[in-house]
């Protein structure tokens, strides 16, 4: 049986960046269920936030992040994020990431809910792709072993300590076991839960499901960010139209051409994502349309084609010239704020098990992620994982609760009615209709009931699609159950039956496999 000091599951920016750091401390292997190029990072258009501008400061970045998080950010984690950002950006530059410049300086742009321009980008709107390509090239040059087309099937744990991992060869169908001292989950999010999403097809909640099954704490799952502006064209999969488009002056208009966002929020088109997403749905309902429009035709064609070349080319390939025509858009699932609970060193409550990137919940995003903080979170906390393991890591010690928590367990549910058969399509439709942008008790209860029954009925997984369906069903249950428990509206979580924010809900909902559902502590 092969053994490594570090096994990293996932080959996006989180996995690749961590692998490059880990090779300095021991033997490393990366496991990815697709190829090294398959990841959500490529879809990250907006950029990476850091307070490096003359009129900016970590304190200002800190305040903006807390404001977006709506009362649930871990302030210590946010302080680490903003203070360590400039050093991590410098490291990316040293790795060779080609950030865009203007007059010899790194170009900074503005996105919603940031008080000043602080977003670095590369290739205009292709930041994620440039970072991922740079890191994947370095991983190959370093000859770090990458096990492609390999699905992580089971984490092996003994006495609450990681011993290794079972991996499915997606082509041969065989299982191989690897030992490791440190297992780092960098598997990305779970956007494929929803019918309309901006994610890569690898985003199936794998890390959440794997970690939950071995007793890791899962936290804040009700907070799933829906991006307000995904391209909405017949026969075309949703494609992200970056928030930076509105940052550059894009105007949202309804089917009649009315610029509606000032009707809903004083910040207008630069209101927080959750506000904009709900406003778009309300406007679509009012006008009887399945879309609204993002208008940038007042900007010069030069600005559009140089600042957003990827978006421009994609739309043009589908018959839409965004320099002359408005862009049809609608909300789509985008980013998971919750995930595997970690401390500020990336440690979970299972010894030797770490998580980084979207699958982790470090506490920096709270109830709503500030735009472009996600890639920054990856590099800051992946670096800290390496610093921690260099000194000898243990399981995350239970911390004194800074605010109350609700402990939960996925309970058995009874379903008296006929159910649709469990499938990828029926799952996406169920969650989009009942666990989407706007939620209520009836819809959430229906989703939780059906997901529980599906989880009970699904046969054991034997290949990548069946493993992904299992992982999505479990992850979907965690989201639905958490959203059902939280009887308020906060950040990205909106309940039409509890539309106001309630002070008693300034708390976290935590699930582990062993806990009793609904018992309060704090």
At 181-236, the pLDDT tens digits run 999 999 999 999 999 999 999 999 999 999 999 999 999 999 999 999 999 999 99
Evaluate whether 427 touches 476 at the Cβ level (below 8 Å).
yes
490-494 average pLDDT score: 97
Q: Is 100 left (phi over 0), alpha (psi -120 to 50) or beta?
A: beta
pLDDT at 398: 59
Burial class (CB in 10 A: 0-12, 13-18, 19+), 255: middle
pLDDT of residue 348: 97
CB 122 within 8 A of CB 304: no
Helix axes 441-457, 424-434, angle to 10 degrees: 160
SS3 call for 63:
helix
What pLDDT was estimated at residue 516?
A: 36
If pLDDT is split at 50, 70 and 90, which confidence band does 38 have?
A: low
Domains and CATH numbers, the chain: 229-332 (3.90.700.10)
Question: Does the pLDDT at position 415 exceed 70?
Answer: no
Average pLDDT taken over every residue of the chain: 92
Of 437, 428, 429, nearest in space to 468 by CA: 428
Can you tell me the distance from the alpha carbon of 340 to that of 292, in angstroms, rounded to the nearest whole number?
A: 35
Quote the DSSP letter at residue 262: G
Mean pLDDT of 55-82: 97
Q: Which two tokens stand for residue 259?
A: 């610029």
By the 10 Å C-beta count (0-12 exposed, 13-18 middle, 19+ buried), 432 is classed as middle
> What number is the average pLDDT over the span 58-78?
97
Q: Are 85 and 58 in contact (CB under 8 A)?
A: yes
Burial group, residue 427, by CB count within 10 angstroms (0-12, 13-18, 19+):
buried
pLDDT of residue 39: 54
pLDDT recorded at residue 518 = 39
Question: pLDDT tens digits, residue range 133-149?
Answer: 899 999 999 999 999 99
Distance CA 318, CA 314 (A): 7
Residue 36 vs residues 106, 473, 501: alpha-carbon distances, Å: 28, 25, 42
* Rounded average pLDDT over 390-414: 73
Could you write out the three-class secondary structure of 374-412? HHHHHHHHHHHHHHHHHHCCCCCCCCCCCCCEEEECCCC
Rounded Cα distance, 422 and 424, in Å: 7
Model confidence at 301, in pLDDT bands (50, 70, 90)?
Answer: very high
Task: Please determine, for residue 158, whether its predicted confidence score (pLDDT) is greater than 80.
Answer: yes
For the residues 320-341, what does the mean pLDDT come to?
97
CA–CA dist 506, 522 (Å, integer): 11
Rounded-to-integer distance, Cα 496 and Cα 231, Å: 26
Give the pLDDT band (50/70/90) at residue 103: confident
String of DSSP letters for 480-519: HHHHHH--S-BTTB-BTTB-S--GGG-SEEEE-TTSPTTE
Q: What is the mean pLDDT of residues 32-36?
A: 89
Mean pLDDT, residues 284-304 taken together: 97
Paired tokens of 47: 């950029």
Is 273 an annotated catalytic residue? yes
Q: What is the pLDDT of residue 455?
A: 93
> Contact, 293 vs 232, CB < 8 A?
no
pLDDT at 244: 84
519 pLDDT tier (thresholds 50, 70, 90)? very low
Please state the three-class secondary structure of 407-476 as a single string: EECCCCCCCCCCCCCCCHHHHHHHHHHHCCCCECHHHHHHHHHHHHHHHHHCCCCCCHHHHHHHHHHHHH
Which pLDDT value is given to residue 402? 67
Burial 37-48 (b: 16+ CB within 10 A, else e): ebbbbbbbbbbb
pLDDT number for residue 281:
96
Of the residues 79, 253, 273, 464, only one is catalytic, namely 273
pTM of the model: 0.93
In the prediction, which pLDDT does 125 show?
80
Confidence of residue 454 (pLDDT cuts 50, 70, 90): very high
**How high is the pLDDT of residue 110?**
85
Q: In the prediction, which pLDDT does 82 show?
A: 98
Joined tokens for residue 352: 């030797």
Mean pLDDT of 505-521: 72
What per-residue confidence (pLDDT) applies to 383?
Answer: 97
Give the pair of three-digit tokens for residue 377: 């979170």
At residue 517, the pLDDT reads 40
> What's residue 425's pLDDT?
96
């Amino acid at each position: 049986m092969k053994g490594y000091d570090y096994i990293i599951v996932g080959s996006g920016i989180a996995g690749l960046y961590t692998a490059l750091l880990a090779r300095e401390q021991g033997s490393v292997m990366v496991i990815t269920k697709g190829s090294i190029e398959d990841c959500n990072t490529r879809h990250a258009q907006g950029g990476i936030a850091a307070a490096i501008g003359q009129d900016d400061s970590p304190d200002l970045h800190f305040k903006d992040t807390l404001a977006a998080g709506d009362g649930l950010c871990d302030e210590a984690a946010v302080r680490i994020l903003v203070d360590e950002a400039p050093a991590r950006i410098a490291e990316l530059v040293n790795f060779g990431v080609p950030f865009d410049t203007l007059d010899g300086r790194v170009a900074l742009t503005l996105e919603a809910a940031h008080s000043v321009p602080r977003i670095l980008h590369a290739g205009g709107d292709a930041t994620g792709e440039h970072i991922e390509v740079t890191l994947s090239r370095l991983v190959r040059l370093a000859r770090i072993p990458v096990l492609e087309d390999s699905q992580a099937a089971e984490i092996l744990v003994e006495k609450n300590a990681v011993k290794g991992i079972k991996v499915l060869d997606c082509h041969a169908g065989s299982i191989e076991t690897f030992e490791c001292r440190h297992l780092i989950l960098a598997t990305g999010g779970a956007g494929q839960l929803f019918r309309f999403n901006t994610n890569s097809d690898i985003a199936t909640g794998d890390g959440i499901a794997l970690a939950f099954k071995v007793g890791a704490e899962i936290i804040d799952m009700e907070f799933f960010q829906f991006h307000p502006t995904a391209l909405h064209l017949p026969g075309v999969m949703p494609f992200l139209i970056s928030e930076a488009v509105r940052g550059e002056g894009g105007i949202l208009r309804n089917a009649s051409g009315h610029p509606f966002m000032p009707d809903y929020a004083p910040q207008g088109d630069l209101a927080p994502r959750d506000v904009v997403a709900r406003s778009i749905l309300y406007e679509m309902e009012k006008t009887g349309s399945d879309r609204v429009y993002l208008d940038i035709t007042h900007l010069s064609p030069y600005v559009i084609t140089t600042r957003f070349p990827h978006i421009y080319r994609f739309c043009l390939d589908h018959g839409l010239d965004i320099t002359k025509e408005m862009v049809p858009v609608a909300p789509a699932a985008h980013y998971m704020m919750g995930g595997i609970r970690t401390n500020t060193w990336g440690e979970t409550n299972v010894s030797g098990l770490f998580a980084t990137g979207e699958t982790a919940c470090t506490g920096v995003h709270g109830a709503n992620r500030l735009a472009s903080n996600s890639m920054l979170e990856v590099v800051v906390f992946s670096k800290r994982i390496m610093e921690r393991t260099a000194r000898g890591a243990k399981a995350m010690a239970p911390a004194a609760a800074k605010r109350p928590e609700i402990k939960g367990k996925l309970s058995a549910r009874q379903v008296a009615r006929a159910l649709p058969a469990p499938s990828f399509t029926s799952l996406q439709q169920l969650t989009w209709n009942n666990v989407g942008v706007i939620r209520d008790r009836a819809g959430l209860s229906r989703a939780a009931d059906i997901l529980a029954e599906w989880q009970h009925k699904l046969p054991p997984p034997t290949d990548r699609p069946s493993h992904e369906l299992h992982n999505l069903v479990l992850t979907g249950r965690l989201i639905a159950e958490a959203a059902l428990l939280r009887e308020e509206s906060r950040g990205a979580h909106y309940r039409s039956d509890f539309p106001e924010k309630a002070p008693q809900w300034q708390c976290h909902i935590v699930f582990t496999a062993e806990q009793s559902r609904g018992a309060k502590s704090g």
